[in-house]
Amino acid sequence: MRCRLGLKECPKNDAGILRCFPKIEQPFGMVIFGASGDLTKRKLVPALNRLFEAEILPERFFVLGAARTRMGDEEFRSRFNTQPDLLKRFSYTRVDYQNPDTFKSLKRVVDDLMKRFGVRNLIFYLSVPPDVYVPIIENLSKAGLNTETSRIVIEKPFGKDLKSARELEQVLQRSFGEHQIFRIDHYLGKETVQNILVFRFANFIFEEIWNNKFVDHVQITIAEGIGVEHRAGYFENTGLLRDIFQNHMLQILALITMEPPSSFNGESFRSERVKLLRSIRPFPVEDLENWIVRGQYGRGTVNGRVVPAYREEPGVSKNSSVETFVAMKLFIDNWRWSGVPFYLRAGKRLPKKVTEVAVVFKRIPHSIFPNVPSKDLEPNTIIFTIQPNEAISLEFQVKRPCPGMTPQLLSMDFRYEDYFGVKLPDAYERLLLDVILGDTTLFMRRDDLEVSWELLDPVLKAWESDPVRFEPHIYPSGTWGPKEADLLIERDGRRWR
């Protein structure tokens, strides 16, 4: 099939895949708050660089870094390893997020740049810790920078709980319209996450079996080998439930289970996603331990390297009870999924980095093969490997080529690398492009947040109200979490893949 540019195949090189986007005409300016930080250096500027190299960005655009650190334009530019032609468009200004006066100076700098580059559309990217979102938004308004043609990008976590998320939303809605607000969950920018939608809604054969009549259960794993790294300050205030489940995990779950929207673009997709999230059964707080397991990494070995316990990491309290691992079981109370358990787990310092969804089908009802009871025949499973080694696999039984009738489980794999032969674009490349184009489809809507916090808030409250009962189980680094996580699924006669 030809793509919208009339191509039959994707160009077989890294820049080529991005060149498939037509060049943007509309000039823009991007103001990055917290531009001295990690996200700007590791994700935002490299993504802009790739879009620039692929000649997608318009002729006229600028990037203004804004943060508290004192530095000049040259020092700011020297932080990035990018195209010199791109760096010419970078400048830096100092701003105190809490001080309205510095936003008046910011406005003067911005006005000047807008004139110089002939730009009307401004994007404000909040690449700062969430504590300073509110003062920045309020000060942008006071300085009159929240014009009709401006957009604002907010990074997760969106608040700390339902109350703070609502407060943040009120402040946001006072200053910007919903179409101007881009709440980023970078998992929605991953090609393999979006491909869940194509797999489900561009193929007819799977829809008939995508329900409780055929599916036994679903597992989602978001595992990382890394620990808290240099983010102790953030993580000590956040924990893994907020860091991964409130956003990435629930979004993947929604894409796997939502009803078909009438169209991808616009509100239909986002509405179906939220409808699904609303159908998740609330967790019973009385016996929460049987539904959600909390863990924290102890010392151990990951990839042959001995690593410290979480409590020994710099910046972490010696008796911290913040979780670095969560496993949970949940149900979706609707016609399609009633009775199907979903087992979700995510954690740091697990044996390897892998994000995977496994849709495990029911076992055959009766075996016709001598000496092969149906319980010994592994069920069919469809596995979406979101990262790394991006792939989709179907596990099914085949006859071993020998006398007799001996089934054997095999995997039929589609690997992106084999077929497309390109490095997949980073999620931020796609999402920044959508922000520049003003397309909110792949961003979270206000009600996404409301629903996810409504689900997780009682859990967080229960944990806080009884820290002894909910003390995280310590697991050795380099293992798949505490044994309680295994019990969670084994109690139901199943096991983690």
Verify binding: residue 228, ligand NDP, rule CB under 6 A: no
How long a stretch of residues is the chain? 497
What whole-number distance in Å separates Cα of residue 214 and Cα of residue 204? 15
Query: Could you tell me which residues come within 8 angstroms of residue 31 by beta carbon, excluding any fewer than 6 positions away?
Result: 64, 66, 106, 110, 122, 123, 124, 125
- Cis before residue 388, ω within 30 degrees of 0? yes
Rounded CA-CA distance 129/155 in Å is 9
In whole angstroms, the minimum distance from the beta carbon of 243 to ligand BG6 comes to 5
Q: Does 227 bind ligand NDP (CB under 6 A)?
A: no
Let me know: does 347 contact 324? Beta carbons within 8 Å. yes
Element (H, E) at 300: strand 292-302
107 labeled binding residue? no
Total of chain residues touching ligand NDP, rule CB under 6 A: 17
Spatial CB neighbours of 425, under 8 Å, sequence gap ≥ 6: 17, 18, 50, 191
* Binding-site partner at residue 37 among ligand BG6, ligand NDP, none, CB < 5 to 8 Å by type: ligand NDP
Q: How many CB atoms lie within 10 A of CB 98?
A: 13
Contact partner at residue 471 from ligand BG6, ligand NDP, none, CB < 5 to 8 Å by partner kind: none
Closest to ligand NDP by CB, 36 vs 102, is 36
Catalytic site positions: 248
- The four Cα atoms 63, 68, 73, 79 give a dihedral, to 10 degrees, of -80
37 is in an annotated binding site: yes
Rule CB under 6 A: say whether 169 interacts with ligand BG6.
no
Q: Which residues pair with 358 in a beta bridge?
A: 219, 383
Q: Considering the rule CB under 6 A, would residue 474 count as an interface residue with ligand NDP? A: no
Q: Does 38 bind ligand NDP (CB under 6 A)?
A: yes
CB count, 10 Å around CB of 234? 15
* 464, containing H or E segment: helix 446-465
Closer CB to ligand BG6, 169 or 224, in the complex: 224
Confirm whether residue 221 is marked as ligand binding: no
Shortest separation between residue 466's beta carbon and ligand BG6, angstroms:
26
Judge whether 50 and 20 are in contact, CB under 8 Å.
no
> Residue number with the shortest CB distance to ligand BG6?
243
> Residue 64 or residue 326: which is nearer to ligand BG6 going by CB?
326
Residue nearest to ligand NDP (CB): 37
Q: Which stretch binds ligand NDP (CB under 6 A): 18-26, 29-37, 251-259, 317-325?
A: 29-37
Q: Does 68 bind ligand NDP (CB under 6 A)?
A: yes
| Residue selected from 243, 313, 390, 448 as contacting ligand BG6 according to rule CB under 6 A | 243
The continuous run of DSSP H or E covering 62 comes out as strand 61-67
Q: For ligand NDP, give the closer residue by CB, 46 or 351.
A: 46
Nearer to ligand NDP, 160 or 273 (CB): 160
375 is in an annotated binding site: no
429 binds ligand BG6 (CB under 6 A): no
| Maximum Cα–Cα distance across the chain | 84
Candidate residues 9, 12, 13, 69; the one interacting with ligand NDP per rule CB under 6 A: 69
Q: Which is nearer to ligand NDP, 37 or 407 (CB)?
A: 37
- Tell me the one-letter amino acid at 244: I
Helix (H) or strand (E) holding 31: strand 28-33
Token pair belonging to 144: 């009159």
Residue 224 interacts with, from ligand NDP, ligand BG6, none (CB under 5-8 Å by kind): ligand BG6
Name the minimum Å distance from CB 475 to ligand BG6. 17
Q: Report the site for ligand NDP in 85-144 (rule: CB under 6 A).
A: 97, 127-130, 132
Asked if residue 335 lies in contact with residue 234, where contact means CB atoms within 8 angstroms, the answer is: no
Return the bridge partners of 183, or none.
154, 444
Chain residues that interact with ligand BG6, rule: CB under 6 A:
224, 243
List the binding residues for substrate.
186, 190, 224, 243, 348, 353
Chain residues that interact with ligand NDP, rule: CB under 6 A:
34, 36-39, 67-69, 97, 127-130, 132, 155-156, 234
